[in-house]
Amino acid sequence: MRYLANISGLILCAAVIMLFWAETAQAYIDPSSGSYFLQILLAGLLGALFTLKIYWRKIKAFFSGKDADHDAGQ
């Protein structure tokens, strides 16, 4: 187990060194990358809102101190 901790620490250290030692990159960002990023952002936001909608009654019951099944009958 200690062996895995040493290896993971070594990999993390190497990744940090490579991240800060990098020189300027001559990279090209495709114009559609912004659209793709926007789609990912909107999908995450809508997924979070849908999850909130599904569990809203339980969340409301948790903070109000009432039973969630009791509110379902109303």
Domain ranges of the chain: 33-74
Other residues' Cβ atoms within 10 Å of the Cβ of residue 61 = 16
Q: What is the pLDDT of residue 59?
A: 85
Q: What is the pLDDT of residue 70?
A: 58
Predicted TM-score (pTM) above 0.85? no
Length of the chain: 74
Q: What is the pLDDT of residue 72?
A: 55
Q: What is the pLDDT of residue 21?
A: 83
Q: What is the pLDDT of residue 73?
A: 52
Q: Can you tell me the distance from the alpha carbon of 54 to that of 56, in angstroms, rounded to the nearest whole number?
A: 6
Kindly list the averaged pLDDT for each block of 10 residues, start to end, along the chain of length 74.
Answer: 74 87 78 89 96 89 77 53
Q: What's the CA dihedral at 42, 63, 54, 36 to 10 degrees?
A: 10
All residues at 6 or more sequence positions from 37 whose CB lies less than 8 Å from its CB, including other chains = none
